[in-house]
Copies of this chain bind each other. A is one copy, B any other.
Amino acid sequence: MSGQYAHIMTADEAVALIEPEQTVMIGGFVTVGSPHTLIDALVRRGTRPIRLIVTDNGFEDRGIGRLIVNRQVSQEFVSHIGLCPETGRQMAAGEMDVTLVPQGTLIEQIRASGAGLGGVLTPTGLGTAVEQGKPKIQVDGREYLLEKPLRADVALIRAYRADRQGNLVYRRVMRNFNPTMATAARLTIAEVDEVVEVGDLDPEHVETPFVYVDILVGCVIR
């Protein structure tokens, strides 16, 4: 964000900024730390097709799985889909293009993009199906897969508290992919429990500096 304050708006207003064919990152791990208010608004709006970068699809009736069930997703990079069987059905039917990524690779690919790096050199996936079609790079006699950065048009993330500038703090394992995704999208929309005044967050404990956050949306407890 490059204004003095982050924009505060409703979830419906925020997700209206997502356009068809865009790539959207969504935080959360098995629905914990997912921005449910934003996801539900995106389901209501029905924007399609969109491409997703997520660590898992949540459940068919909660979290990211709702977007899958609503047939809004044409393509995704994802690590785990087991709790949302609809994904497998749409894959098998050729309706969704799903790239499975080791979770530690996926988070580094997102980080690389936000950090201006050209990719990730990881040993994970060597000797497995994951290595297919990817360059292998030798460094000091060891082999690594080169995995490319992953960037999004919009990141939908979840945090615990924000100040009006957009500085964010998290709670427990709500963190997961959220802080990294915040850095890797052109537009980052954060769903938070509470927005406090600038100066009310301890500068020692801010985990996402406000430069990464454009829009704040209140969390609707379901």
Which residues of A line the B interface, CB within 8 A? 108, 112, 115-123, 137, 139-140, 142, 144, 146, 148-149, 169-172, 204-205
Contact = CB atoms under 8 A, between A and B. Distances in A.
A169 B116 CA distance: 27
Given A117-B121, A118-B123, 11 more contacts: A108-B117, A116-B122, A116-B123, A118-B122, A118-B144, A119-B121, A119-B137, A139-B146, A139-B148, A169-B204, A204-B205
A146 B140 contact: no
Contacts of A121: 112, 117-121, 146
A204 B172 contact: yes
A147 to B, nearest CB: 10
A210 to B, nearest CB: 18
A119 B170 CA distance: 30
The CB with the most chain B CB atoms within 10 A, among A119, A142, A169, A170, is that of A119
6 contacts: A108-B117, A117-B120, A118-B123, A119-B139, A121-B121, A139-B146
A184 to B, nearest CB: 15
Nearest to A145: B118
Contacts of A112: 121
A135 to B, nearest CB: 8
Contact of A137 (B118, B149, B172): B118
